[in-house]
Chain A
Amino acid sequence: MSTSGIALTNRWARVSALAPRGHGATTLVLLLTWLALVVATGLRAPGFLSGQTVVAVAFNMAFVGIMVTGVGIVMMSGAEFDLSVGVTAVTSALIVAQLLVEGWSFPPAMLVAVLFGVLIGAANAWLVLWLGIHPIVATLGMMFLVSGVTRIFVDFVAIPRDSFLRQQAAGAWLGVPRVFWVMLVVFTIVGLVIRSTRPGRHLVAVGGNAQAARARGISPRRVQGVAFVLCGLCAGIAGLVLASQGDIVQSSLTAGTEFRVISILLLGGLALTGGRGRFSGVFASLLLLSTLPTAIVTWGVSSSWQPVIEGLVLAVALAVNSLREKKR
């Protein structure tokens, strides 16, 4: 009797450690805010509640969401974040577009673009984990490096209309772009893997306390290195998503996305220092921050306010994250 009682407490302790109080509340608050935003915008401009908006927002979510997944892995592992995802994604989109123009078939072109993402992720991992450069500085430097090199060679590429990418990936399923479902699958798998598999728990352990993880025989460097490489992989996939939309890929297409990615993760409840947070909150926050730009334009605010609002949202997200950590 008493032993089963202890087992029960232990299990309960484990469960409550997996699902700390507050995460459900975070998700709920974010979803309610999103609902309020949608209702308010819909009342003001009935045209907002249209299939067109759904497609626009869903595409936004698909592109940003895949990068959020990647950077989320990095943040969870305690390596803070990766600022180079935006330019990596756009470069991989340019690569796939250029290769298609040159007459490559889709699968090898796709492979090259994704491998490029992996390469950048590995480079980041090397800079941060082996050279010991702080993640912000290393990935900021990488961001300038990649975008500079890319723009030396190519500024924009038109995507051939008859390519597999335009034919297949651009379509819709259940009224929502296919790429959205791709994002949803990637996001859900990563969320589940982090929550309930052994590698996922190692990731969380390293993010929560690298010293303790090392004492248990987990190599923080290896785990964080894998996190950076996966993040690069996600950036490469996001590039494919970007290339599947529109007629041309432009090097200036994603300016500022890396900052929105961080806002989404922090608002969604991931701790900047790693090891805490759940992907359900992140999804709610992705929904909110991807709807916001479209809603703002509907409210009649000039789109040049967009970066101002994104910057302020990032500041708020940082403050909220800091308050949450302090409460702990």
Chain B
Amino acid sequence: MTSRPKPSATALLSPMATSLAFLAIVIVCGIVFAPSFLSVANLASVSSGIMAPAIILLVACLAMTGGVADLSLGSVLGLGGVVYATVLQLSESPLAGVAAAAAAGVAVGLFNSVLSVRFHIWPLIATLGMLVAARGLVSVISGGSSVAAYTPELSAALKTAIGPVPVVLVGVVVLAVLVGWIIRYTRWGNHLRAVGGDDVAARRAGIPANRMRMWLFVVVALVAALAGSLQVMRTGASAVNLGEGVELLVYGALLISGYRLAGGGRGSALSGLVCLFALELIRNIFRLRGLPLPLTDVLLGLTLIGAVSLDLVRGRVRRPLIAQPATG
């Protein structure tokens, strides 16, 4: 006879419950410290501002399910943005810009995948080099200053809203549901979870684990570069520090919602999105209060360490559920 876990413990294990609790705490803090953040205009600007990180979060969540955590995402976001802006300036064609950004993303993804999969290096470590190199390429290409790339019609299209709700937000939520469905209900998603959980077992079952991982690297980098060009389309310029720290924001959110860096875990795309929104709200509250900018870095550092610690707490809660010697 096994004892039932306490309700609070099961809530910690459910990704959505944790994420919503986190969001609720942030909103309460916001109401206390910066009441103006509840205005519709501010919330709309926050939710459209996280477009690029949100898109990256969705693919990162696919990749993490398969055990691929790519630290170069933020740099590749910046690279995609600056390549798009530069090509747009030269050719005056947004399509060429997007194609160039996509090509850059694929190239980076191939590099990462060869390094990690062929040389058997843990993804987090293998992508450290690209984290530095891609960020360096951004300043090489842009010459160290921001590149203007304003296209009125694209910018307007990305800023349209139905009432107070930005269209991109709707798009991102739809994508999140789609990603969740792929992971849970398709054969490919099933294989993905198998590879992330135990790749030796997956390989024995005939799943091409290495090939799947290589694809994941390429897809993640490609989407990060595309998200960078979308971001530039929306804002009209590519800053040198575009996307700096985004990888920590994204992985922090995913870790809070229950994913694990080593692969597997029990998060979901939607709950990751909720956490990302909560983290962005914290940054927004900082900004509204006029707090110093480096505080954001402190937040990112604390999130990363805190999120992993949360995973350890979860492990402690879960363990009695699995191997329960009937003690009490």
Contacts and interface: CB of A to CB of B under 8 A. Distances in A.
B130 interface: yes
B312 to A, nearest CB: 6
Contacts, number: 134
B119 A304 contact: no
A32 interface: no
Nearest to B111: A315
A307 B298 contact: no
A318 interface: yes
B248 A134 contact: no
B129 A144 contact: no
B134 interface: yes
Contacts of B143: 304
A305 B292 CA distance: 31
A133 interface: yes
A133 B132 contact: no
Interface string B304-316: 1100110010000
Contacts of A93: none
Contact of B297 (A133, A148, A262, A326): A148
Contacts of A138: 305, 308
10 contacts: A137-B261, A141-B301, A144-B245, A145-B298, A149-B294, A259-B129, A304-B139, A311-B134, A314-B132, A318-B115
Interface of A: 80, 127, 131-134, 136-138, 140-152, 256, 259, 262, 272, 302, 304-315, 318-319, 322-323, 326
Contact of B308 (A133, A309, A322): A133
B89 interface: no
Contact of A319 (B115, B292, B302): B115
A256 B136 CA distance: 10
Contacts of B304: 137, 140-141, 144
A134 B308 contact: yes
Contacts of A143: 301
A263 to B, nearest CB: 8
A308 B133 CA distance: 4
Interface in B269-328: 292-305, 308-309, 312
A-B pairs, top 3 by smallest CB distance, nearest first, are A311-B133, A307-B136, A148-B297
Given A134-B261, A141-B304, A152 B140 contact: no
A132 B294 CA distance: 27
Chain B contact surface mostly: helix
A249 to B, nearest CB: 16
B144 interface: yes
B40 interface: no
Contacts of B119: 318-319, 322-323
Name which of B126, B245, B297, B303 has the most chain A CB atoms within 10 A of its CB. Answer: B297
A132 B312 contact: yes
A148 B298 contact: yes
A8 B234 CA distance: 74
Interface in B94-141: 111, 115, 119-121, 124-126, 128-137, 139-140
Given A144-B301, A149-B298, A314-B128, A305 B312 contact: no
Chief secondary structure at chain A's binding surface:
helix
A146 B305 CA distance: 13
A83 to B, nearest CB: 8
Given A302-B140, A305-B136, A307-B132, A315 B301 contact: no
A144 B297 contact: yes
B84 to A, nearest CB: 19
A302 B141 CA distance: 12
A308 B302 contact: no
Given A133-B305, A137-B308, A322-B120, A304 B136 contact: yes
A121 to B, nearest CB: 16
Nearest to A133: B308
Given A141-B302, A308-B133, A318-B115, 7 more contacts: A141-B305, A148-B298, A310-B136, A311-B132, A314-B132, A315-B129, A322-B120
Contacts of A131: 308-309, 312
A256 B128 CA distance: 11
Given A134-B261, A152-B292, A318-B125, A308 B136 contact: yes
A145 B261 CA distance: 20
A326 B120 contact: yes
Nearest to B304: A141
A136 B124 contact: yes
Given A137-B305, A302-B140, A311 B129 contact: yes
B115 A148 contact: no
Contacts of B111: 315
Contacts of A306: 136
A308 B124 CA distance: 18
A134 B304 CA distance: 11
B132 A256 contact: yes
B301 A142 contact: yes
Of listed A259, A310, A318, residue having the most chain B CB within 10 A: A318
Nearest to A302: B140
A143 B144 CA distance: 24
A307 B141 CA distance: 13
A13 B129 CA distance: 38
A136 B296 contact: no
B258 to A, nearest CB: 16
A63 to B, nearest CB: 18
Nearest to B133: A311
A305 B135 CA distance: 10
